[in-house]
Every structure is written in C-alpha cells, then in structure tokens.
C-alpha cells in the first residue's frame, strides 16, 4: 500500500508530475483542490469568498484526512495545505511526503502566464508577482522542508524533462 503526498508552491509541478507519476506507478491520483471542489460543488475561490481562509483551511484539513486514508494513491496538495495545523506531520505519518522544490525565479516564469487562472495573482504586475512569490515561498518553506523527501522541479520546461522527473520520482517511490 502506497500513499504519496506531493507538496510545494503553486507552479512547482504537483498536478503535472502527480498525474504522470500515478499513471506510471498504477496508482490513483487525487488533486486535493479538485477533490474539495467536487465535494462542495464550489470552486476553491467561491469557498474562500463565502467562508474566508480560516474556514477553508479547516475544510482542507478535513478533506486531507479523508483522502489520506485512501490506499495506493498519489495526492497533490494545495500549496498552503502543508502549512496549516499539523498537516505536514499527518502526511509524513500517513505515507511519503515529497516537497517539489523550485526557485522563485522559475515559479515566476511559470506563474506569470497563468495569472488569469489564479485569483491571488490576477491583478499583480510582474514585480508584484515576483515579490509575492518570494514572500510566500519564504514563509512556507520551513513547513515544506519537513517533507520526507525534497525533489528539485526546476527543470520541467519540456516534455522530455517532465518524463525524466517522473522516472526519478518513480524510482524514489518504488523504494518506499
């Protein structure tokens, strides 16, 4: 039985690598944000707007505990999930937690084109976006680094690079 939790900042590759890795390993894949949206029949943005961040983080914690009981699964957490309550400790206890680490500069390159899809980033200029990434990543990194494994995802800019990263991750999870 395998439970793999992928953590990291938005744009670090959790969903992209998680789905490909699950396919290769023959495991189920769950994107925690999509799971929450399906369960609540609302987008994360709608839940945030209606309930606020504090209530959302409670929902997120409860849904993490739910999917954390599933077997043979790879779970891509939301970027903030490891940073609240005892979530990072829970994930490390339940399975293998992998921090997909990426530099602020690479995150900026990935996220600047996806601003319209990410409400927290939507109205930011390039310089504001870079500062936002640096500040938030710095605040979260201590929790992220408590993951069982730290895996560099700086080189995911091509299909071949993604496939190589999936191969390396597959080797890691097969040893767990």
Report the distance separating Cα 13 and Cα 90, nearest Å.
22
Strands, E assignment, 22-116? 28-31, 73-76, 96-101
- Does 3 carry a binding-site annotation? no
Q: Is the dihedral of CA 43, 117, 23, 154 positive or negative?
A: negative
- Does 77 carry a binding-site annotation? no
- Does 102 carry a binding-site annotation? no
Length of the chain: 176
- Does 152 carry a binding-site annotation? no
- Does 80 carry a binding-site annotation? no
- Does 15 carry a binding-site annotation? yes
- Does 158 carry a binding-site annotation? no
Q: What radius of gyration, in Å, describes the C-alpha atoms of the chain?
A: 15
- Does 138 carry a binding-site annotation? no
- Does 118 carry a binding-site annotation? yes
- Does 61 carry a binding-site annotation? no
- Does 122 carry a binding-site annotation? no
Find the largest Cα–Cα distance for the chain: 45
Nearest CA-CA partner of 141 in 100, 111, 105: 100
Angle at which helix 87-94 crosses helix 44-67, to 10 degrees, equals 40
Binding residues for substrate: 33, 57, 79, 140
Binding residues for ATP: 11-16, 118
Binding residues for Mg(2+): 15
Binding residues: 11-16, 33, 57, 79, 118, 140
């Amino acid at each position: 039985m395998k439970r793999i939790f992928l953590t990291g900042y938005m744009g670090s590759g959790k969903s992209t690598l998680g789905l490909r890795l699950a396919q290769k390993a023959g495991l189920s894949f769950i994107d925690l944000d999509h799971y929450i949206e399906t369960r609540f029949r609302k987008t994360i943005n709608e839940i945030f707007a209606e309930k606020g961040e504090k209530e959302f983080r409670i929902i997120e914690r409860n849904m993490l505990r739910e999917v954390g009981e599933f077997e043979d699964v790879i779970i891509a957490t939301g970027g903030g999930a490891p940073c609240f309550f005892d979530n990072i400790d829970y994930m490390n206890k339940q399975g293998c937690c992998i921090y997909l680490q990426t530099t602020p500069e690479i995150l900026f390159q990935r996220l600047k084109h996806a601003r319209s899809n990410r409400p927290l980033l939507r109205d930011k200029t390039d310089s504001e976006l870079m500062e936002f990434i640096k500040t938030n990543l710095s605040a979260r990194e201590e929790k992220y680094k408590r993951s069982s494994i730290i895996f560099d995802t700086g080189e995911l800019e091509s299909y071949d690079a993604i496939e190589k990263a999936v191969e390396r991750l597959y080797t890691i999870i097969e040893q767990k």
